[in-house]
Amino acid sequence: MRAIWKGAVSFGLVSIAVKLYSATEEKDIRFHQVHRTDGGRIKYQRTCSIDGEVVSYDDIAKGYDIGGGEMVILTDEDFADLPLTTSRAIDVLQFVPADQIDPLLFAKSYYLEPEGQAAKPYVLLRDALTEADRVAIVKIALRQREQLATLRVHDDVLVLNTMLWPDEVRTPDFGFLDDDIETRPAELAMASSLIDSMAGSFKPDEFTDNYRAALQEVIDAKVEGREIVAPEETEEAPAAAVDLMAALKASVERAKAARGEAPDSAGATSIKKAAPAKKTAAKKTTAAKKTTPAKKAAKKAS
Protein backbone atom coordinates (compact mmCIF):
# COMPACT_ATOMS: atom_id res chain seq x y z
CA MET A 1 0.00 0.00 0.00
CA ARG A 2 1.08 3.57 -0.64
CA ALA A 3 0.61 6.28 1.97
CA ILE A 4 -1.60 9.11 0.72
CA TRP A 5 -1.05 11.50 3.66
CA LYS A 6 1.39 12.08 6.49
CA GLY A 7 0.75 13.98 9.66
CA ALA A 8 0.11 13.53 13.35
CA VAL A 9 -2.74 12.65 15.67
CA SER A 10 -3.03 15.42 18.24
CA PHE A 11 -4.23 13.68 21.41
CA GLY A 12 -4.20 16.27 24.20
CA LEU A 13 -0.52 17.16 24.58
CA VAL A 14 0.50 13.90 22.92
CA SER A 15 1.42 13.90 19.22
CA ILE A 16 1.48 10.64 17.27
CA ALA A 17 3.15 10.71 13.85
CA VAL A 18 1.14 8.62 11.40
CA LYS A 19 0.75 7.68 7.75
CA LEU A 20 -2.66 7.38 6.13
CA TYR A 21 -3.58 4.55 3.75
CA SER A 22 -6.83 3.85 1.91
CA ALA A 23 -8.47 0.93 3.71
CA THR A 24 -10.72 -0.02 0.81
CA GLU A 25 -10.47 -0.41 -2.95
CA GLU A 26 -13.11 -0.68 -5.62
CA LYS A 27 -13.14 -3.93 -7.58
CA ASP A 28 -15.29 -2.67 -10.44
CA ILE A 29 -14.13 -3.71 -13.91
CA ARG A 30 -13.14 -0.52 -15.70
CA PHE A 31 -13.53 0.16 -19.41
CA HIS A 32 -12.16 2.74 -21.82
CA GLN A 33 -14.29 4.47 -24.41
CA VAL A 34 -13.06 3.35 -27.84
CA HIS A 35 -13.96 3.69 -31.50
CA ARG A 36 -16.22 0.73 -32.29
CA THR A 37 -14.68 0.05 -35.70
CA ASP A 38 -10.94 0.05 -34.87
CA GLY A 39 -10.70 0.14 -31.05
CA GLY A 40 -8.91 3.48 -30.95
CA ARG A 41 -9.07 5.31 -27.60
CA ILE A 42 -11.41 8.30 -27.45
CA LYS A 43 -9.65 11.49 -26.35
CA TYR A 44 -11.21 14.59 -24.86
CA GLN A 45 -9.91 18.13 -25.07
CA ARG A 46 -10.66 20.91 -22.62
CA THR A 47 -11.92 23.85 -24.61
CA CYS A 48 -13.16 27.28 -23.57
CA SER A 49 -16.88 27.80 -24.19
CA ILE A 50 -16.29 31.46 -25.17
CA ASP A 51 -13.39 31.44 -27.63
CA GLY A 52 -13.30 27.71 -28.44
CA GLU A 53 -9.56 27.51 -27.70
CA VAL A 54 -7.98 24.38 -26.15
CA VAL A 55 -6.99 25.21 -22.54
CA SER A 56 -3.96 23.72 -20.77
CA TYR A 57 -4.01 22.68 -17.10
CA ASP A 58 -1.91 25.69 -16.13
CA ASP A 59 -4.63 28.04 -17.38
CA ILE A 60 -7.51 26.29 -15.60
CA ALA A 61 -8.90 27.84 -12.42
CA LYS A 62 -11.94 27.17 -10.25
CA GLY A 63 -15.04 29.27 -10.85
CA TYR A 64 -18.13 29.78 -8.70
CA ASP A 65 -21.34 30.58 -10.58
CA ILE A 66 -23.24 33.36 -8.81
CA GLY A 67 -26.03 33.39 -11.38
CA GLY A 68 -26.95 35.80 -14.13
CA GLY A 69 -24.02 34.66 -16.25
CA GLU A 70 -21.47 35.95 -13.73
CA MET A 71 -18.58 33.83 -12.48
CA VAL A 72 -16.23 34.41 -9.54
CA ILE A 73 -12.78 32.99 -10.32
CA LEU A 74 -10.64 31.61 -7.46
CA THR A 75 -6.90 31.07 -7.82
CA ASP A 76 -4.47 28.83 -5.93
CA GLU A 77 -3.50 31.87 -3.85
CA ASP A 78 -7.12 32.28 -2.71
CA PHE A 79 -7.21 28.69 -1.45
CA ALA A 80 -3.79 29.01 0.20
CA ASP A 81 -5.12 31.79 2.45
CA LEU A 82 -7.97 29.66 3.84
CA PRO A 83 -7.67 28.71 7.54
CA LEU A 84 -6.94 24.99 7.24
CA THR A 85 -5.26 24.74 10.64
CA THR A 86 -5.52 20.93 10.56
CA SER A 87 -3.57 20.62 7.30
CA ARG A 88 -1.02 18.23 8.84
CA ALA A 89 -2.81 17.21 11.99
CA ILE A 90 -5.65 14.96 13.08
CA ASP A 91 -7.13 16.91 15.97
CA VAL A 92 -9.04 14.82 18.50
CA LEU A 93 -12.10 16.81 19.61
CA GLN A 94 -13.87 14.38 21.94
CA PHE A 95 -14.51 10.71 22.68
CA VAL A 96 -18.05 9.35 22.23
CA PRO A 97 -19.88 5.99 22.26
CA ALA A 98 -19.87 4.45 18.78
CA ASP A 99 -23.62 3.86 18.79
CA GLN A 100 -24.24 7.63 18.92
CA ILE A 101 -22.93 8.02 15.35
CA ASP A 102 -25.41 7.39 12.56
CA PRO A 103 -23.75 5.15 9.89
CA LEU A 104 -25.37 7.44 7.29
CA LEU A 105 -22.62 9.95 8.07
CA PHE A 106 -19.69 7.65 7.20
CA ALA A 107 -17.90 8.22 3.88
CA LYS A 108 -14.49 6.54 3.41
CA SER A 109 -12.14 4.43 5.56
CA TYR A 110 -8.37 4.79 6.05
CA TYR A 111 -5.76 2.84 8.00
CA LEU A 112 -3.35 4.73 10.25
CA GLU A 113 0.22 3.45 10.63
CA PRO A 114 2.60 4.83 13.25
CA GLU A 115 5.67 6.51 11.79
CA GLY A 116 9.16 6.53 13.28
CA GLN A 117 9.15 6.35 17.09
CA ALA A 118 5.37 6.83 17.36
CA ALA A 119 4.52 3.13 17.88
CA LYS A 120 4.31 3.43 21.70
CA PRO A 121 1.83 6.35 21.87
CA TYR A 122 -0.05 4.83 18.93
CA VAL A 123 -0.57 1.54 20.80
CA LEU A 124 -1.44 3.49 23.95
CA LEU A 125 -4.25 5.37 22.16
CA ARG A 126 -5.42 2.15 20.52
CA ASP A 127 -5.62 0.26 23.81
CA ALA A 128 -7.22 3.21 25.62
CA LEU A 129 -9.99 3.43 22.97
CA THR A 130 -10.59 -0.30 23.29
CA GLU A 131 -10.71 -0.11 27.08
CA ALA A 132 -13.10 2.87 27.06
CA ASP A 133 -15.24 1.33 24.29
CA ARG A 134 -15.44 4.71 22.56
CA VAL A 135 -14.41 6.34 19.29
CA ALA A 136 -12.60 9.63 18.82
CA ILE A 137 -14.25 12.49 16.93
CA VAL A 138 -11.53 14.27 14.93
CA LYS A 139 -10.96 16.85 12.23
CA ILE A 140 -8.59 16.36 9.31
CA ALA A 141 -7.79 18.23 6.11
CA LEU A 142 -7.71 15.99 3.03
CA ARG A 143 -7.46 17.22 -0.56
CA GLN A 144 -7.91 20.88 0.35
CA ARG A 145 -11.00 20.19 2.39
CA GLU A 146 -11.55 20.00 6.14
CA GLN A 147 -13.45 16.87 7.11
CA LEU A 148 -15.07 15.49 10.21
CA ALA A 149 -14.00 11.92 11.00
CA THR A 150 -13.79 9.22 13.65
CA LEU A 151 -10.89 7.18 14.96
CA ARG A 152 -11.71 3.64 16.02
CA VAL A 153 -9.93 0.31 16.44
CA HIS A 154 -10.22 -2.48 13.87
CA ASP A 155 -7.99 -5.58 13.92
CA ASP A 156 -5.55 -3.82 16.29
CA VAL A 157 -5.16 -0.92 13.85
CA LEU A 158 -6.49 2.63 14.19
CA VAL A 159 -8.98 3.34 11.41
CA LEU A 160 -10.05 6.81 10.36
CA ASN A 161 -13.57 7.07 8.91
CA THR A 162 -14.27 10.38 7.19
CA MET A 163 -17.80 11.67 7.72
CA LEU A 164 -20.28 13.95 6.04
CA TRP A 165 -21.14 17.21 7.73
CA PRO A 166 -24.67 17.22 9.20
CA ASP A 167 -25.93 19.72 6.61
CA GLU A 168 -24.81 17.33 3.83
CA VAL A 169 -27.38 14.70 4.87
CA ARG A 170 -30.75 15.21 3.22
CA THR A 171 -33.95 15.12 5.25
CA PRO A 172 -36.37 12.46 3.93
CA ASP A 173 -39.54 14.12 2.63
CA PHE A 174 -41.99 11.46 1.45
CA GLY A 175 -45.76 11.62 1.30
CA PHE A 176 -46.41 8.35 3.13
CA LEU A 177 -44.82 9.75 6.30
CA ASP A 178 -47.89 11.98 6.73
CA ASP A 179 -50.34 9.11 6.22
CA ASP A 180 -51.93 7.35 9.18
CA ILE A 181 -50.80 3.80 8.42
CA GLU A 182 -51.27 1.16 11.11
CA THR A 183 -50.02 -2.42 11.16
CA ARG A 184 -52.13 -5.16 12.70
CA PRO A 185 -50.64 -7.16 15.61
CA ALA A 186 -50.94 -10.38 13.57
CA GLU A 187 -48.99 -8.81 10.68
CA LEU A 188 -46.31 -7.51 13.02
CA ALA A 189 -46.01 -10.93 14.70
CA MET A 190 -45.67 -12.67 11.33
CA ALA A 191 -43.07 -10.11 10.15
CA SER A 192 -41.12 -10.70 13.39
CA SER A 193 -41.32 -14.44 12.74
CA LEU A 194 -39.89 -13.87 9.26
CA ILE A 195 -37.02 -11.86 10.71
CA ASP A 196 -36.31 -14.63 13.24
CA SER A 197 -36.34 -17.28 10.51
CA MET A 198 -33.80 -15.27 8.47
CA ALA A 199 -31.59 -14.27 11.42
CA GLY A 200 -27.88 -14.99 11.20
CA SER A 201 -24.35 -13.68 11.83
CA PHE A 202 -22.91 -11.36 9.20
CA LYS A 203 -19.89 -12.93 7.50
CA PRO A 204 -18.73 -10.71 4.61
CA ASP A 205 -16.82 -13.55 2.91
CA GLU A 206 -20.10 -15.38 2.27
CA PHE A 207 -21.25 -12.71 -0.20
CA THR A 208 -19.92 -12.25 -3.72
CA ASP A 209 -20.45 -9.87 -6.64
CA ASN A 210 -22.08 -12.24 -9.14
CA TYR A 211 -22.35 -9.58 -11.83
CA ARG A 212 -18.64 -8.76 -11.72
CA ALA A 213 -17.72 -12.46 -11.86
CA ALA A 214 -19.96 -13.02 -14.89
CA LEU A 215 -18.58 -9.92 -16.62
CA GLN A 216 -15.01 -11.09 -16.01
CA GLU A 217 -15.90 -14.46 -17.52
CA VAL A 218 -17.18 -12.71 -20.66
CA ILE A 219 -13.92 -10.73 -20.92
CA ASP A 220 -11.75 -13.83 -20.37
CA ALA A 221 -13.71 -15.75 -22.99
CA LYS A 222 -13.20 -12.96 -25.53
CA VAL A 223 -9.46 -12.81 -24.80
CA GLU A 224 -9.07 -16.59 -25.16
CA GLY A 225 -11.40 -16.88 -28.14
CA ARG A 226 -13.78 -19.18 -26.27
CA GLU A 227 -17.50 -19.37 -26.61
CA ILE A 228 -19.23 -17.13 -24.12
CA VAL A 229 -21.35 -19.18 -21.72
CA ALA A 230 -24.40 -17.33 -20.51
CA PRO A 231 -24.64 -17.23 -16.70
CA GLU A 232 -27.53 -18.93 -14.96
CA GLU A 233 -30.62 -16.79 -14.79
CA THR A 234 -31.44 -15.53 -11.33
CA GLU A 235 -34.88 -16.01 -9.90
CA GLU A 236 -37.15 -13.11 -10.75
CA ALA A 237 -38.51 -11.02 -7.91
CA PRO A 238 -42.12 -11.92 -7.10
CA ALA A 239 -44.87 -9.52 -8.05
CA ALA A 240 -46.25 -7.20 -5.42
CA ALA A 241 -48.40 -9.20 -3.02
CA VAL A 242 -52.05 -8.30 -2.57
CA ASP A 243 -52.52 -10.36 0.61
CA LEU A 244 -49.81 -9.20 3.01
CA MET A 245 -50.38 -11.97 5.56
CA ALA A 246 -50.26 -14.67 2.87
CA ALA A 247 -47.02 -13.23 1.53
CA LEU A 248 -45.50 -13.14 5.03
CA LYS A 249 -46.52 -16.74 5.75
CA ALA A 250 -45.10 -17.93 2.42
CA SER A 251 -41.88 -16.00 3.11
CA VAL A 252 -41.49 -17.65 6.51
CA GLU A 253 -41.96 -21.13 5.02
CA ARG A 254 -39.49 -20.33 2.25
CA ALA A 255 -36.89 -19.06 4.74
CA LYS A 256 -37.29 -22.18 6.88
CA ALA A 257 -36.91 -24.43 3.84
CA ALA A 258 -33.73 -22.57 2.87
CA ARG A 259 -32.31 -23.28 6.34
CA GLY A 260 -33.30 -26.96 6.12
CA GLU A 261 -36.06 -26.68 8.70
CA ALA A 262 -39.34 -28.55 8.44
CA PRO A 263 -42.24 -26.37 7.25
CA ASP A 264 -45.05 -25.50 9.63
CA SER A 265 -47.75 -28.11 8.86
CA ALA A 266 -50.20 -27.16 11.62
CA GLY A 267 -52.68 -25.76 9.14
CA ALA A 268 -52.50 -28.82 6.87
CA THR A 269 -53.06 -31.21 9.81
CA SER A 270 -56.22 -29.46 10.93
CA ILE A 271 -57.65 -29.65 7.42
CA LYS A 272 -56.96 -33.39 7.19
CA LYS A 273 -58.68 -34.04 10.52
CA ALA A 274 -61.75 -32.10 9.49
CA ALA A 275 -62.23 -34.06 6.25
CA PRO A 276 -63.10 -37.49 7.79
CA ALA A 277 -65.75 -35.80 9.94
CA LYS A 278 -67.62 -34.74 6.79
CA LYS A 279 -67.47 -38.29 5.43
CA THR A 280 -68.94 -39.73 8.66
CA ALA A 281 -71.77 -37.26 8.52
CA ALA A 282 -72.42 -38.22 4.93
CA LYS A 283 -72.58 -41.93 5.87
CA LYS A 284 -75.11 -41.23 8.61
CA THR A 285 -77.29 -39.30 6.17
CA THR A 286 -77.15 -42.14 3.65
CA ALA A 287 -78.01 -44.70 6.30
CA ALA A 288 -80.95 -42.63 7.41
CA LYS A 289 -82.25 -42.47 3.84
CA LYS A 290 -81.91 -46.24 3.47
CA THR A 291 -83.90 -47.02 6.64
CA THR A 292 -86.80 -44.74 5.73
CA PRO A 293 -88.36 -47.04 3.04
CA ALA A 294 -88.09 -49.99 5.43
CA LYS A 295 -90.15 -48.19 8.04
CA LYS A 296 -92.80 -47.30 5.45
CA ALA A 297 -93.03 -50.94 4.38
CA ALA A 298 -93.48 -52.05 7.98
CA LYS A 299 -96.40 -49.63 8.46
CA LYS A 300 -98.15 -50.90 5.31
CA ALA A 301 -97.73 -54.52 6.41
CA SER A 302 -99.36 -53.77 9.75
CA 174 to chain centre: 21
* Predicted TM-score (pTM) of this structure: 0.68
In whole angstroms, give the CA distance from residue 58 to residue 60.
Answer: 6
| pLDDT value of position 145 | 82
For 239, other C-beta atoms within 10 Å of its C-beta total 6
Q: Are 90 and 7 in contact (CB under 8 A)?
A: yes
Mean pLDDT by 10 residues, the chain (302 residues): 90 89 88 90 90 90 89 84 72 94 94 94 95 95 87 96 93 90 88 86 85 86 76 61 75 80 52 39 41 44 43
Assess contact for 128 and 121: CB atoms under 8 A.
no
The pLDDT of residue 222: 83
pLDDT at 302: 41
